[in-house]
Amino acid sequence: MNNPFSKLFDTVYGEKGQVKYERYFMTMMTFTSCVFLILLSIFHLVMGFSVAPVYLGAVGAAVCMVLYFLVRFTNCIYFPKLILTGVGLVILDLTWYVKFLSLGPVVFLVFVFGALIIWVWDGWCLVRMIAFYYVNLLVLFIVEYTSPGFHFAYPDLKTRTIDIYLNFFLYSVLLLFVLNKIKNDFLYQKERAIRSDKLKSAFLANMSHEIRTPMNAIIGFSQLLEGECDEEEKQKFLKIIQNSGDNLLRLINEIIDLSTIEAGDIKLHFSTFSIRELFIELVDISNLELQRRNKTAITIEYSLPEGDFEIYSDLFRLKQVMSNLLSNAIKHTSGGIIRIGCRKSKGDILLSVSDTGTGIPDEDQHKIFERFTKFNYHEMNREGIGIGLSIVDKIVKILHGRIWLKSKWGEGSCFYVAIPLMNPPGAPGSVVADSNISRLQQPVANNLVLVVEDDIDSFHLIEGILAPMCLSIQHAINGPEAIDFIKKNPQTPLILMDIKLPFMDGYEATIAIKNINPDIRIIAQTAYAITGDREKAIAAGCDDYVTKPLNPKKLRELVAGYLSGPVSGNQP
C-alpha cells in the first residue's frame, strides 16, 4: 500500500508480508473498533445524549484494546476471536437496547456484525457462530416485541434525526474503512500471488540453468577423463569438476537455507566467541575462493579498531551472513582490497564488508535484498540465482538486527550489519556453547573403523578417502547388521554412521550401539543437512556430524582425531 499512512498501518497492525492474514485482520478489527467506540462515546458526551452508550462504549473500547495487545504481541489468537465475537455482540445488544431498539441506528450495526463472523471463523466454528448470531437476533426480536414502545421513544423528532444520521455517519466511516482495508488486502494478496507465480517461473528457469551448467561440466569432463589425456590436462579437468561440484553444492545449500528460513523452521544456537578468530577463519575461506576464481589481485583484510573482543550470538548464522557478503564482494571485485571490520556502536555490534569493486547503481540498491534478484555488472556475476543477499537479510532480521549498504557506481560498496550486543547467561566471561562437549577420550591403538552405509557407491567413496590412512575398514549395510557387528566386536573405536538406512535408521542404531559400549565414537555422515539435523544426531548419541558431499581432507582429519585422542566431540 503506497500512501502516507502505510508506515503507520504497518506499525499498528504489523507488516502484511510478515503476519498471517487471520492475525492481521483481527489486529485491524480490534484496534479500529477501539478507536470507533472512543469516538462514539465522545460524540454522545458532546451532543448530550443518553450517558448509557458512553459507559458501554468505554467498556467495549477497553476490551478491544486488551484484545489488540493480545493478538498483536502474543501468539494468542483463538480466545481473542472468541471474546471479540461473544462480548462484541453482547455490547452491541446492550447499546441497541439503550439506543431505542430498532428505532435507532445500532440495529444496522448488529446486522453488519455478521460479516465479522464470516471473516473470523471457519469450519464448524463458523456454523456455530452463525447459529449463535441468529439466535441473538431472535432474542432481540422477542425483547423488542414484548417491551412497551413508549419506554424507548426519542424525546422529540429532531433528537431522533440528529442521533440517527450522525451515528450513521460514524458507522459508515467504520464500515467503509474496514471494507476498504479488506479490499486493499485482497488486492495485495492477489498481486503477491501473481508475483509469486512469476518468481516461481523465473526460479524454475534459473534453477534449470544453474543446475545444468555445473552438471554439464561435471559429466562432460568426467567422460573426457575416461579417454587418453596427459597429467596436466587431467589435473585441469579435475579442478573444473571440483569447482563445478562446489558451485552446485552452494546452490543447493542456498535453496535449503531460504526454504528453511521462510518456513520459520530456523533455530538459533548462541555461544560466546572471539570476533578476531571469526575474521581469521573468514579471511582464510575467502582466500581459497580467490584462488579458485583466479583473482590474485585482490587482498582481503580485517580491521578491529577496538582490538579483539568476544560477542554472544549465533556463530554459524553470523558466519553465514559474513561469508555471503564476502562472496558477493569477491564476485564484483577484480582488484584492490576487500576489508571486513567490527566495532561496538550504541549497544550494537556493527560489522562491515567493504570492497573496491563495481559498486551498485542508485536505481538498483533498493532491490538488492529481494529474492531471485541478480545484477551482472561487467559480466562478473554469472553464477547463482540471486538469493544470497536475500538469505543474509532474513538471517539478520531473525537476529533482531538490521542491514544496509552504501555504494557508488564505479567506486565499490560497503555493507553494514548491526546486531544487538547481548550478554551471555552465567558468569561474566563464561563461554556458553550450543552443544555439549563430551568427556576426553583416551588414545586407542585399534584402527578398526566400521562404515554403516546402504549406498555401495558412498561406501566405496569413504573407503577411497580413508585409504591413505591404512585403516581396517569394515562395512555394514544397515542398522541391525551394524549392531550385530558391534556385539561381536565391542572394542570397535569408531563408526561412520549413515542416518537414512533400511529397517532401522541411524538414530536408532546409534542408541542401540551406545547401550552396548558407550565409549564407541560415532560420527554421523549424512545427506541430512538442514537446520536441526545436527542437533538430532547429537541427541541420539553421535559424537560428531558431517554432511555429504564429504570433504576428504576434513573427514581424514576428523577420523584421525577420534582415533588418536584426546578428542572432544560435537564439533561444529
What CATH number has the domain bearing residue 329? 3.30.565.10
User: Rounded distance, CA 418 to CA 220, Å?
Assistant: 45
Which of 62, 61, 93, 67 is closest to 79 using CA atoms? 67
Question: With 60 as the cut, is the pLDDT of residue 182 above it?
Answer: yes
Mean pLDDT of all residues in 335-347 = 89
Mean pLDDT of all residues in 356-385 = 76
Instruction: Answer with the one of 153, 169, 186 that is the final residue of a domain.
Output: 153
Mean pLDDT of all residues in 243-267 = 74
Please state, in angstroms and as integers, the Cα–Cα distance from residue 252 to each residue in 225, 339, 362, following that order: 26, 28, 31
Q: Is residue 193 part of a domain?
A: no
Same domain, 19 and 149: yes
What is the residue-averaged pLDDT of the chain? Answer: 80
Same domain, 61 and 109: yes
Cis amide bond preceding 155, omega within 30? no
User: Rounded distance, CA 508 to CA 510, Å?
Assistant: 5
Same domain, 66 and 134: yes
User: Rounded distance, CA 376 to CA 389, Å?
Assistant: 14
> What is the layout of strands, in order, in the sheet containing 336-345?
298-303, 336-345, 348-354, 412-420, 402-408
Cis amide bond preceding 148, omega within 30? no
Residue 502, Cβ density class (10 Å: 0-12 exposed, 13-18 middle, ≥19 buried): exposed
Question: With 80 as the cut, is the pLDDT of residue 483 above it?
Answer: yes
Same domain, 114 and 35: yes
Same domain, 478 and 378: no
Q: Is residue 460 part of a domain?
A: yes
Same domain, 149 and 11: yes
CATH number at residue 258: 1.10.287.130
Cβ–Cβ under 8 Å, residues 563 and 492? no
Question: In the block, which residue shows the cell 575474521?
Answer: 279
Domain residues for 219?
A: 200-262
Q: Is residue 109 part of a domain?
A: yes
Same domain, 15 and 94: yes
The long-range contacts involving 354-357, CB below 8 angstroms and separated by at least 24 positions, are 354/329, 354/412, 354/413, 354/414, 354/415, 355/329, 355/330, 355/412, 355/413, 355/414, 356/411, 356/412, 357/329, 357/332, 357/333, 357/412, 357/413
pLDDT recorded at residue 452: 93
Amino acid at 77: I
Q: Is residue 195 part of a domain?
A: no
For 104-143, write each residue's pLDDT tens digit: 778 878 887 887 788 788 888 889 999 999 999 999 999 8
Same domain, 401 and 460: no
Q: Is residue 184 part of a domain?
A: no
pLDDT recorded at residue 366: 84
Q: Is residue 233 part of a domain?
A: yes
User: Rounded distance, CA 526 to CA 523, Å?
Assistant: 9
User: Rounded distance, CA 447 to CA 469, Å?
Assistant: 9
pLDDT recorded at residue 446: 63
